[in-house]
Chain A
Amino acid sequence: MSSQIPAYAQERLKGLRSSAHSTGVFTSDFSVNEFLLVRKAGFEPIGLCVGTCVYHVGIQYGSWKKNEELQVLSKAMYHARELAMARMRAEAQAMNADGIVGVKLTIKRLEWDENLLEFIAIGTGVVHGDGHKGFRAHDGGPFTSDLSGQDFWSLLHSGYRPVEMVMGSCVYHVAHRGMFAAMGSTGQNVELENFTSAMYEAREIAIERMQHEASAAKAEGVVGVDIHEGSHGWQTHVIEFFAIGTAVLPLDQEIAPEKIADPIMVLSVND
């Protein structure tokens, strides 16, 4: 489905590419500062790119006393996000964008069915003002990144360019404690090793998956890594570890690293 964009959408996308001309209209969700900085970085916004996916998440229960990854849920979260992202990227490709800046990835639960999740990816497609193709991802398609316009500018000025928004996810069931275990530890502070190791394993799986995506994108590093936990209305002991960041590559021809200006340090007087 991702490659078949409806006719009316294609019409809309066609118009956007000419946005640099006086007749075109571009759409974006940039703030004023973001817009100015993206332009300062040498890029022009051409249009909002959207990808969405409503997904029925399979049902899986963890066994009560076991720490384990819930693979059905993990795969669902992964697959659905990927679908939304791929559709957004297809829109960007259709408008011939070099990349997408400020991608927001959100998940909503649909009210009437607790197993239905809606995944939305939205960002602003941009093109390089001079038609440089060196900013595209390793597969020649548009780069994706969740960086804001300011972050995008800062990243280019630190000598890197965004390649791909990478993520890793692990939905994990944390074991329940037995009654006897709970009674045995009254009167002292003890570490619940079982819980600790559950956190360690789940987080490690998520980080490794993200790192794997980054090396598949042939990136040098990942910036803005956020590792967090969340629950999307699952049972109390089920938790999703999610790692997300922007894979980056050093700029080689676009801006010579030695041309990077030393930033001016500022001490702000207000907190």
Chain B
Amino acid sequence: MGLFDWLKQGSDPETRAAKEASVQRQADIQQSLRGGRVPSDIATRLEQARTGKQPWLATLTPAELLIARSHGLKPIAAISATCWLHYGWSWTQGHAQGWEAALQRLRAEARACGANAVVDVKMRSIALAVKDSMDFTLVGTAVKVDGLPPSDQPIIATVPALEFVKLLAADIVPTGIAIGAHYEWMTDWRNGAKMTWMGNVESRPLSQLWETVRQRAHAELRKHAASQGNGVLAHINFSQMFEREVDKQPTQYLGRHIVVATVVDVPRTQGSQGYVRDHGRSGDTVSAQEFKMVVDIHAGKTPLTGTTRHHQAYYSNDEEGAI
């Protein structure tokens, strides 16, 4: 009986071989990641997908496949990257560090399958509670653009294929993810944050703490984005504040803020005034699109808008935009 064979695991050669293979595979994964390479098993799979020996895999929905095909995009493989980070030093900064590492790994996989871009990149975190740590996982679909040679630096687009094509049609290239993260401790020496007054009054020390933290996080975001494009879309804002009371010492407050955004590269040739001036003139990229009333036949959530689900790594305590 099959069932009882499983109970004898460990003793049969098949299981032992599988276990050995697993140990080797893990050693290879660690070695490769340390060296910035794609682990061998994955590299083999991607190579087979690239040459058509294995079926292509796409996270795209059929509607997205339709639009990808009509715009010359061909899916190659579903690719993914993970970095599991332990926060010994800083939770907040860890987010920038973790996503960045995952991003590099995803790019390496995209390169390995000869892609020009990765679309539909989702940010994920696995619900496996391990103290002071979190995994930063990216999953997406590597695509090839007809008539383009494989890129050395494939584009990482955190938008679904539909939105990717929409942006391209408007001459805008989504290029990557930018993260800005900052935290700060404030020690309340004068006990100014404790509100004893009954009336309406601003809590200045806390306001100030938030100001600083948010401004720094956004400054980081700009800096990170500048290396990839000239604009960001649709922030995810995540912020938390904590109070820490220590016996016989002034109260401390921690403010942390994380912003995640999709970086875009927008041509600046027209300038902002030019856009307004040219609005409605035919032949222009953005303004050329006509606006029509349509009935969306998709029941439930339309695939045409909204990518909130793409960033489920944050349960976000803030209002989110479409991306």
Give the interface of A toward B (CB within 8 A): 31-34, 36-37, 58, 60, 67-69, 71-72, 75, 147-148, 150-152, 154-155, 157-160, 174, 177, 182, 185-201, 203-204, 207-208, 210-211, 214-215, 219-227, 229, 231, 236-237, 239, 243, 245, 247, 260, 262-271
The chain B residue sitting closest to A37, CB to CB, is B297
B45 adjacent to A211 (CB under 8 Å): yes
Work out how many contacts link A and B, with CB atoms closer than 8 A.
218
7 chain-A/chain-B pairs, Cβ below 8 angstroms: A71-B18, A152-B62, A154-B63, A189-B93, A193-B84, A196-B82, A203-B80
Whether the Cβ atoms of B6 and A72 lie closer than 8 Å is yes
Chain B residues lying within 8 Å of A148, measured Cβ to Cβ, are: 299
User: Who on chain B is nearest to A30 by CB?
Assistant: B299
From B101, which residue of chain A is reached at the shortest CB distance? A191
Per-residue contact bits, chain B 74-101, to A (CB 8 Å; 1 contact, 0 not): 0100101011111111100110010001
B128: contacting residue among A208, A237, A263, CB under 8 A: A237
Please indicate which of the listed interface residues A32, A268, A269 has the most CB atoms of chain B within 10 Å of its own CB. A268
Q: In the complex, A191→B94 CA distance in Å?
A: 10
**Docked-complex contact A267 and B57, CB < 8 angstroms:** no
- A227→B60 contact, CB < 8 A: no
A-B pairs with the 10 shortest C-beta distances? A158-B66, A155-B62, A195-B84, A154-B62, A221-B56, A197-B29, A271-B322, A154-B63, A214-B55, A199-B82
Chain A residues with CB below 8 A from B57, complex form: 207, 210-211, 214, 221-222, 225, 245
User: B9 and A71: CB pair below 8 A?
Assistant: yes
Complex: chain A residue closest to B34, CB-CB: A193
Which positions 87-129 of chain B face chain A at CB distance < 8 Å? 87-90, 93-94, 97, 101, 126-129
Report yes or no: B54 in contact with A211, Cβ–Cβ below 8 A.
Answer: yes
Q: A200: nearest residue on chain B (CB-CB)? A: B29
The residue in B18, B54, B62, B69 that gathers the most chain A C-beta atoms within 10 A of its C-beta is B62
Known: A58-B7, A189-B85, A236-B129. A147 touches B55 (CB 8 A): no
Flag if A193 contacts B30 (CB, 8 Å). yes
What residues on B are CB-neighbors of A210 within 8 Å? 57
Cross-chain contact B26 with A158 (CB below 8 angstroms): no
**Contacting pair A189 B59 (CB below 8 A):** no
Main secondary structure of the interface of B (DSSP, over half): mixed
- Shortest B300–chain A CB gap in Å is 8
Q: Knowing A33-B297, A58-B6, A189-B85 touch, does A215 contact B166 (C-beta < 8 A)? A: no
Residue of B whose beta carbon sits closest to that of A261: B70
Report chain B residues within 8 Å CB of A196: 29-30, 33, 82-84, 135
Chain A residues near B296 (CB-CB < 8 A): 266, 268
CA–CA, A203 and B304, complex, Å: 29
Which residue in B33, B88, B321 is a CB contact (below 8 Å) of A186?
Answer: B88
Most A CB contacts (10 A, CB to CB) among B61, B80, B84 go to B84
| B3 neighbours in A (Cβ, 8 Å) | 58
Chain B residues, CB < 8 A from A58: 3, 6-7
Question: A187, A197, A207: which contacts B30 (Cβ < 8 A)?
Answer: A197
B: interface residue count bin: 35 or more
Question: Do A271 and B306 contact each other (CB < 8 Å), given the known contacts A159-B69, A177-B130?
Answer: yes
Contacts of B305 in A (CB 8 A): 268, 270-271
Q: Counting CB contacts under 8 A, is B281 at the interface?
A: no
Instruction: Take A227-B78, A227-B80, A263-B66 as given contacts and tell me if A190 and B135 are in contact as well, using a CB distance cutoff of 8 Å.
Output: no
Interface centre among B29, B42, B69 (most CB of A within 10 A): B29
Whole-angstrom distance between the Cβ of A169 and the nearest chain B Cβ:
15
Q: How far is the CA of A265 from the CA of B70 in the complex (A)?
A: 11
Neighbour of B60 across the interface among A194, A197, A224, A264, CB < 8 A: A224
Cβ of A31 and Cβ of B70 under 8 Å apart? no
CA distance A192 to B128 in the complex (A): 14
Task: Return the CB mask of B294-323 against A: 1 if under 8 Å, else 0.
Answer: 101111001011100000000000000110
Note all chain B residues with C-beta closer than 8 A to A201. Answer: 22, 25-26, 29
| Chain A positions within 8 Å of B66 at CB level | 154-155, 157-158, 260, 263
A199 CB → nearest B CB, Å: 4
Is A192 a contact of B133 with CB atoms below 8 Å? yes
Known: A200-B42, A263-B66. 20 other contacts (CB 8 A): A33-B299, A71-B9, A154-B61, A154-B65, A196-B84, A197-B30, A200-B33, A201-B25, A204-B41, A211-B45, A214-B57, A224-B62, A225-B59, A225-B78, A226-B59, A265-B169, A265-B289, A266-B296, A268-B302, A268-B305
Given contacts A236-B129, A266-B304, contact A151 B135 (CB under 8 A): no
Contact between A190 and B85 (Cβ–Cβ < 8 Å)? yes
Closest residue to A33 on the B side, CB-wise? B299
In the complex, whether B291 has a CB less than 8 A from a CB of chain A is yes
Q: Give the distance in Å from the alpha carbon of A186 to the alpha carbon of B132 in the complex.
A: 10
Bound-complex Cα distance A152 to B65 (A): 12
Which A residues lie within 8 Å of B84 (CB)? 191-193, 195-196, 199
- Select which of B30, B41, B61, B69 is within 8 A of A224 by beta carbon: B61
B137 interface residue (CB < 8 Å to A): yes
- Could you say which of B25, B30, B54, B289 contacts A215, with CB atoms under 8 Å apart? B54
Residues on A with C-beta less than 8 A from B18 are: 69, 71
A71, B133: Cβ atoms closer than 8 Å: no
Within 8 A of A (CB), among B5-48: 6-7, 9, 15, 18-19, 22, 25-26, 29-30, 33-34, 39, 41-42, 45
Say yes or no: B9 contacts A220, CB within 8 Å. Answer: no
User: Looking at A69, A177, A229, which has the most chain B CB atoms within 10 Å of its CB?
Assistant: A229
